[in-house]
Structure 1
Amino acid sequence: MTLHQDATATLSAWRPASPAQESLREAFLGFLAARPDACARSCEPGHITASALVLDAAGEQVLLTLHPRVGAWLQLGGHCEASDSTLAGAALREATEESGIEGLTIESTPVHVDVHPITCSLGVPTRHFDVRFLVRAPAGAEHVRSDESLDLRWWPLTALPDPDGASGLAGMVAAALPAQMAR
């Protein structure tokens, strides 16, 4: 199965709780149907990305990166690579690379999706069709900041940065909490 096929299957099977997320899910599926290159960063109109909402073992804190291009605290994640065969695998790879934490575990069902405009490595305005997964760090995990981040920090779920919600963190955390609580 190719990454494109996995992305289509993953999003086809996912049933988000909110109508807004369902509408975005359908838009993602339409984009995937129209673009065989939708998972490649070379797809200039936009491309599928994978990210991870990394929770500590107790489920009380989230690991966020201070993104150098965006200048905001965000979840870990990024572009899919040619070696990725699944969206969940891409999100887990990105989370491991960006956090330095070994032994992360991922839920294979998305918890949230978002599409946002960005000028990424292409150097031209594009869109990221971001599929977000819940990831859990092992007990006692210590992160190591990568070159892709200005800072890396655990934040209490009850005290996230960006209280006005411009980053979308609060919505993503709210969508992920039912999945996190079900564990």
Structure 2
Amino acid sequence: MSLYDDAVLVLKGYEGQPELRQVYLDHLSTHPDGMWKACEAGHLTASALVIDPERGRVLLTLHKKLRMWLQLGGHCEPQDPSLTAAALREATEESGVAGLTVLPGGPVRLDRHAIPAPCHWHIDVQYAVVAPPGAVQTISDESLDLRWFGYDEVAEVADASVVRLLEATRARL
């Protein structure tokens, strides 16, 4: 199965946010290249909130280009077998944490947000991954900083989309 086909199946199976989900499906149906960064109309991305439920905290990155505290994630790659695998790969690469596991149940949220030209939209499929006990992070070259924040600190440092992702993740737990 192609990554495109997997994305369509994942989105069709996602029960939340029905209007936004349909926007995603419509985008893919009109843009066969909608999985890839080269699609200037916008492209799917896969992100993951790294969570340590035992210690009540999440790992956020200070994004190098945007200079905002965000969940980890990014562009799908041709070798990614699924959206879930893309989100896990991105979270592992950007956190340096081995042994992350995807929270069962598929995506936690969808978030469509504007980005600078030449592309205009990131059509993000958001997952949550659980960090193993004693996880130690390593800053990647895509980050200015990488830091654990208590659940109650996230709203002080991150935007509303990250807060909504954390709320949805905690509800799933």
Inter-partner Cα distance in structure 2 for 1:69 and 1:162: 20
- Structure 1 residue 177: deviation in Å? 1.4
1:12-39 per-position Cα deviation (integer Å, ceiling 9, x unaligned): 01111xxxx2211111111111111110
Moved more, 82-91 or 153-162: 153-162
Cα RMSD (Å): 1.5
- Indicate the SS of the match to 2:45: strand
TM-score by length of 2: 0.94
- Structure 1 residue 162: deviation in Å? 4.1
1:108-135 per-position Cα deviation (integer Å, ceiling 9, x unaligned): 500011111112xxx6242100000010
User: 1:32-71 to 2 correspondence within 5 Å?
Assistant: 32-58=28-54, 60-71=56-67
Q: Is residue 107 of structure 2 the alignment partner of residue 110 of structure 1?
A: yes
In structure 2, stretches of 5+ residues that fail to align are: none
1:105, 1:136 within 8 Å by CA — same for their partners in 2? yes
Quick one: structure 1 residues 124 and 106, their matched pair in 2 at CA, closer, same or farther if it must change by over 3 Å?
Answer: same
2:155, 2:163 within 8 Å by CA — same for their partners in 1? no
Q: Is residue 163 of structure 2 the alignment partner of residue 170 of structure 1?
A: yes
Inter-partner Cα distance in structure 2 for 1:158 and 1:25: 29
Q: Is residue 123 of structure 2 the alignment partner of residue 129 of structure 1?
A: yes
User: 1:87-98 to 2 correspondence within 5 Å?
Assistant: 87-98=83-94
- Structure 1 residue 107: deviation in Å? 2.8
Aligned residue number for residue 151 of structure 2: 157
In structure 1, stretches of 5+ residues that fail to align are: none
Quick one: structure 1 residues 135 and 14, their matched pair in 2 at CA, closer, same or farther if it must change by over 3 Å?
Answer: same
Inter-partner Cα distance in structure 2 for 1:61 and 1:94: 19
- Count, aligned residues: 172
1:33-72 per-position Cα deviation (integer Å, ceiling 9, x unaligned): 1111110111011000000011015161110000011111
- Structure 1 residue 156: deviation in Å? 0.5
Q: Is residue 26 of structure 2 the alignment partner of residue 30 of structure 1?
A: yes
Aligned residue number for residue 140 of structure 1: 134
Aligned residue number for residue 11 of structure 2: 11
User: 1:73-92 to 2 correspondence within 5 Å?
Assistant: 73-92=69-88
